[in-house]
Amino acid sequence: MNPGARLLLRIAIAGAAAGAACDATPRASAQEAEPAPAEPAEPEPEPDQPVEAEEAQEPEEAQVQAQRARRGSAAAACFLLADDMTDLLTADVFDLCRGAPTPAGPVQCYMAAEDRLGLTTTQNVQLCQCAESTEPVDCWEAVDEQTTLIDAQIEQLCVPRISQGLLPSCRPLGYPEDGATGGT
């Protein structure tokens, strides 16, 4: 299997591990396909009926827990993918994937940085922490080619953790820490 196909396969596996819908079965032709049973639609409230706040939104604590679960799954899938697809040491894989917003984003970014930039492994890991795509690499290339800025200045512009003011866990400053609750 070629490296590109292998990467796509690993990304699909990681996406499935993170709870993303991933259907690896071959699709039937239009003639063979059976129509899926229609799921009953929930009745929409009448325009003049108020929607209760409890039904419209999850409680804040539940939203925080759901976001933690999604990030935890993405970080674990990222770790497995990076461990398989890169030559990074375990500690570097952990740093790359801690708090990852997506299973494949930091890994794709790291691999692109390794291929396209002349940075050290540590710089590539730092560049790609919290990345959702290869955008930090694209940013670095553009700024490096079009300006006379030094690496430390380019980091301020292109590294998601720095430019977006994120914690090492890829959460914004002020995000409730694990175990903290919104109640009193």
- pLDDT tens profile 9-24: 455 554 544 443 333 3
Half-sphere exposure of 129 (CA within 13 A, CB side): 25
- pLDDT tens profile 88-142: 999 999 999 999 999 999 999 999 999 999 999 999 999 999 999 999 999 999 9
Per-residue confidence (pLDDT) for residue 174, from 0 to 100: 74
Closest to 154 (Cα-Cα) out of 171, 131, 137, 175: 137
Domain boundaries defined on the chain: 1-13+58-170
pTM over 0.85: no
Half-sphere exposure of 55 (CA within 13 A, CB side): 6
Read off the tokens for 157: 């512009």
Cα Rg of the chain, angstroms = 21
